[in-house]
Amino acid sequence: MNYQKELKIVKQAVIKAGEALEKEFKKWQRGKATYKKHDEIVTWCDKKSEGTILNILNKNFPDYAVLSEESGKNNKSSDYSWVIDPMDGTSNFTIHNPLFTVSVSLLYKDQIVLGVTYMPVLNELYHAVSGAGAFRNNKKIKVSEINLLKKSFITYCHGQTLKTHRQAYKVYEHFHEVARDCRHFGSTTLELAMVAAGNTEALIVAQAKIWDIAAGIILIREAGGKVTDFQGKEWNLKSKTLLAANKKIHQTLKNQLNKLKI
């Protein structure tokens, strides 16, 4: 399958949701957010975005299963599953930082076959379909060619537990010294898209939910990059860690992570 129908509908869904988020972003005031477990921020905008996406996807693909960050799984059994992050970077959104996204991917059984990430404020729409390349605003993108750590921009992210926080601190402390720079932008989907587009060389994630990374994984793979766990094993749905990078720097980064023992 070439998934062109799915791609067309997903683009419509994320753009509609993203445009609504951008309007709310421009008038958002601190103090309106609530909290989930681990003090993770959520807003009514996350839920409204999710509703917009689900309405469009369910109308066009009523038999597909769904896994979404806010509402969880639906009760449908299908080889096809939508994975939805209605707003990645909610904390950024609440402090008037424009680095947030809407992200949707499609899984066929255990394989990611389609991914779309939309950055509303930047008006950047990233998409990839298995075997067809990766694109930003319909222009083909590829990972960077940089092969020296001292010239590389490394990004990192972590989960909600204290253990993953400490792992991320180690990553930052180490790579801030040996790479060109090491930064955390607060949106995993955005950071993955940046690697796919060649803006940065790598993203290191101690732990992440599938909705944070699925669309970005296929973007990077289709852009010529490599996505594994910290041990170098090709990333799959059971992987606990993620190392996404261009192929020229990936081995160096894996070796560095092994030295850090995280």
Tokens of 256: 């560095």
Tokens of 221: 């793979």
pLDDT for the residue 162: 84
199 neighbors 143 (Cβ within 8 angstroms): no
106 neighbors 113 (Cβ within 8 angstroms): yes
pLDDT for the residue 55: 96
Q: What is the Cα–Cα distance from 243 to 235, expressed in whole angstroms?
A: 8
pLDDT for the residue 29: 76
pLDDT for the residue 36: 60
175 neighbors 214 (Cβ within 8 angstroms): no
Q: What is the Cα–Cα distance from 229 to 242, expressed in whole angstroms?
A: 4
Domains and CATH numbers, the chain: 4-141 (3.30.540.10), 149-260 (3.40.190.80)
Q: What is the Cα–Cα distance from 171 to 184, expressed in whole angstroms?
A: 11
Q: Which residue has the tokens 């010294």?
A: 177
80 neighbors 108 (Cβ within 8 angstroms): yes
261 neighbors 167 (Cβ within 8 angstroms): no
Q: What value does the CA radius of gyration of the chain take, rounded to a whole number of Å?
A: 17
Q: What is the Cα–Cα distance from 216 to 220, expressed in whole angstroms?
A: 6
> Could you give phi then psi for residue 30, rounded to 5 degrees?
-60, 150
Instruction: Please give the sequence-ordered ranges of beta strands (E in DSSP) within 109-217, or none if there are none.
Output: 111-119, 124-129, 134-136, 139-141, 153-157, 181-183, 202-205
What are the angstrom distances between the C-alpha of 59 and each of 72, 75, 116?
A: 18, 16, 19
Beta bridge partners of 41: 35
In this structure, the number of other CB atoms found within 10 A of the CB of residue 259 comes to 9
Tokens of 210: 């599938």
pLDDT for the residue 261: 82
231 neighbors 240 (Cβ within 8 angstroms): no
What is the pLDDT tens value at each position of the chain, 262 positions in all? 799 999 999 999 999 999 999 999 998 877 666 666 555 667 888 899 999 999 999 999 999 999 987 767 777 889 999 999 999 999 999 999 999 999 999 999 999 999 999 999 999 999 999 999 999 999 999 999 999 999 999 999 987 788 888 988 999 999 999 999 999 999 999 999 999 999 999 999 988 889 999 999 999 999 999 999 999 999 999 999 999 999 999 999 999 999 888 7
pLDDT for the residue 124: 98
Alpha-carbon 249 to chain mean position: 20
87 neighbors 102 (Cβ within 8 angstroms): yes
Beta bridge partners of 163: none
